[in-house]
């Protein structure tokens, strides 16, 4: 039989690990998670061969590369990053994959820096909650989409109480890291988007919206 002290230690460790999993932001995704996210994006954004797609805050470009293969040589991916070194990394990754349909774009805090009406679809993953000025950024995203174009946002909710949701500019702070689907829907609608679907599973948030035709 386990001693009482051993059971208490194991119980404490279990609680600590569970709490840490709620508090921490996922540090990167596995290849399987990237593939699953790319498949979901392809479906909800109606991406096909020849589509023009933009990614905001592409990181090191895993989703950019996967979807560049989906749109094929007649389509294109505009891959946006604030960090200049990551912009170079994405370009190198596309070249290494033999892809000529990826255009890297130096992003800005409240601008996609994409041309107007250039994209059939735009997406981002774990990025939206970092926007300091959602109304301005959402207006830029709306301009970058063609009429009827779709937007998909993958994000996560803040930790459960005593956390809670912070206002823009503070949504990346410890104990408040993330955004709720309800807030996303409200901010997108205020910018002129139509919400197509919205789901929250555990802390995973997925919202799909559309620029009105």
Q: How far apart are CA 121 and CA 203, in angstroms?
A: 24
**CATH class in words for 27-210:** alpha beta
| pTM of the full structure | 0.86
**Rounded Cα distance, 42 and 71, in Å:** 9
Give me the pLDDT at residue 107, please.
94
Which pLDDT value is given to residue 79? 98
Q: In this model, does residue 137 exceed pLDDT 60?
A: yes
Residues 35-68 have pLDDT tens digits of 999 999 999 999 999 999 999 999 999 999 999 9
DSSP character for 181? H
Residue for token pair 């800005």: 108
Q: Where are the domains of the chain?
A: 27-210
Average pLDDT over the chain reads: 88
């Amino acid at each position: 039989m386990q001693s009482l002290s051993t059971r208490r230690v194991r119980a404490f460790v279990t609680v600590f690990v569970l709490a840490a999993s709620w508090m921490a932001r996922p540090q990167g995704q596995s290849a399987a998670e990237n593939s699953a996210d790319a498949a979901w994006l392809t479906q909800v954004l109606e991406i096909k061969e020849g589509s023009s797609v933009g990614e905001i805050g592409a990181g090191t470009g895993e989703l950019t590369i996967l979807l560049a293969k989906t749109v094929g040589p007649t389509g294109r991916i505009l891959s946006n990053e604030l960090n200049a070194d990551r912009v170079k990394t994405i370009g190198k990754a596309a070249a290494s994959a033999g892809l000529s349909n990826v255009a890297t774009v130096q992003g800005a805090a409240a601008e996609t820096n994409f041309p107007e009406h250039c994209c059939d679809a735009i997406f981002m993953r774990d990025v939206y909650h970092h926007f300091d000025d959602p109304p301005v950024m959402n207006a830029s995203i709306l301009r970058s989409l063609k009429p009827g174009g779709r937007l998909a946002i993958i994000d996560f909710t803040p930790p459960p109480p005593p956390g809670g949701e912070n206002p823009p500019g503070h949504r990346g702070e410890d104990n408040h890291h993330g955004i709720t689907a309800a807030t996303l829907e409200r901010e997108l609608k205020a910018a002129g988007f139509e919400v197509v679907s919205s789901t929250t599973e555990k802390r995973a948030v997925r919202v799909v919206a559309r620029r009105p035709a």
